[in-house]
Structure 1
Amino acid sequence: MAIQGMELFAVAVVILMFVLVLKQFGMSESLGDDSTDSELELSAVRHQPEGLEQLQAQTQFTRKELQSLYRGFKNECPSGLVDEETFKSIYSQFFPQGDATTYAHFLFNAFDMDRNGSIRFEDFVIGLSVLLRGSVTEKLRWAFNLYDINKDGYITKEEMLAIMKSIYDMMGRYTSPCVKDDAAFEHVEKFFQKMDRNRDGVVTLEEFIETCQKDENIMSSMQLFENVI
C-alpha cells in the first residue's frame, strides 16, 4: 500500500481505514441473503440497538443491508458494543509493519460521540452510512470531526500533525516514496496553506469544506468506496 504524496490526505484515508474495519467485521459479505428476520436479533446482546425501522430512517441502508451489517457486528461484538482495544486490534492486523494504535485511537474517538468508551451498533452504522452513502458535505463534516481532536470546532496545526504522524506510523515501511522524518510536518504546512484562508492559525469547518470541494483529488477519492456494500 502506498501513499502517493498524501494528496488524498483527508477523506481517502478516513474511508479506506473504515472499510478495513468493515471487512474485519465481515460486513461486506453478499447481501443476497433472503433472511426474513422481522427485526434485528436483540436477545443475545447486552446492548440493544434501536429498532430496524428507526435505523432505516437514520441511514441510507436498506432493511436487508442493516440485517447483514448487524449479523457481522454481532459476530465480532456479542455484547453489542465495540471498545477501543477492539479497534486497535483490528488495525494492528492490517498494518503489522507499522504502529496503528494512535490512529485507531483517533478514529475510535470520532465514532464515540458520547465519550463513554464504547461504540454502539447505531453509532457504527450511522457513521458508515455517512462515509459510504452520504452527501459530499456530510462526508467532509465527518472527516473534519476526526481531525478536530478536542471537538472545539477548529483544526489546529497540532491536531493535524498528530493525525498525520499517526497515519505515517500506521503505514510503516509501506509508504512510497520512503517517508522523511519531517514529512508529516511538511504535509501539515501544505494543509494549512491551502485551507487556512484568513491565516488565523486554525481551520474552520467552512474553510475545510470549501477547500476540499475545490480539490479534484479529494473529490475523486470520496467516490472510491461508495459500492463497498
Structure 2
Amino acid sequence: MTSSDLIWMRPEGAGVGRPASRSRAEITEAAVRVADRDGLAGVSMRHVAAELGTGAGSLYRYVDTREDLLDLMADHVAGEYRLGPPTGSWLDDLVDVGLQAREIYRRHPWLPELVLTRPVAGPNGLDLAEHVLAVLADHPAPDGDKVVALALLNAVVAANAQFEASSVDVLRGARYLAHVVARGEHPHLAAIRLGGDGGDPLPTALRRVLGGLLPVD
C-alpha cells in the first residue's frame, strides 16, 4: 500500500481501536452538498466536517486528503446515470449518455472542472465505461477508438456545461462582437447565425463527433 493508491484501493476504516461513526459515503455526500452550494473552492476538510457537525480532525480517520474527497465526489455523482441494457442503436445510446451527463453537470456545476482536469475512474465511473463499451461491443472500430470515444463524449459534454455556466461572460462577449460587426470590418462574422435555430445543438454535435470517430462502412 502506498500513499499514491486511489481511495478505493484502501480499506475503509476509522483507525486502530476506534469504532467507525462515519462512512465514506456519508462524508462524500456531505462534500457534494458543500460543493453544490459553495463550489469546489468551498470543499475543505473543515467545511465538510462542519456540514457533518464534527471537527475536521475526525475526517482524517476516513479520508487522507482533500484530493481523496474530490475523487470520491466525482465518482459518487457518476452513480446518477441510469444505465439500461444496450438498445441496438449505439449512437442513440451514446447520445443518451451524453444528455444524462449534461443533466448531472447542471445539478453539480463543479463537476466539469474535475472531469476535464482530473479524470479518475472509481466504481461508478467504471460502471459507466463498461456500459459504453457494451453499447459498442458489436461496433467494428478498434478498441482504442472506443476508449477515445468515451473520453471525447465526456470532454464535449463537460466543455458544453462549462460554456452554459459562463452565460454572463458569453453575453458580455456577444455585446462586443455585435459592436465590432456593426462597423463592417468582419463580414464573415457578420454573415454567420450565432443564435442557431433555437433547438438543442448538443445531440447533433455528439452525433457528428461520435459518428466521425466511429464510422460504420
- TM bin (shorter chain): under 0.3
Greater relative contact order structure (CA < 8 Å, 6+ sep): 1
Higher strand share: 1
TM-score (norm 2): 0.27
Higher helix share: 2
TM-score (norm 1): 0.26
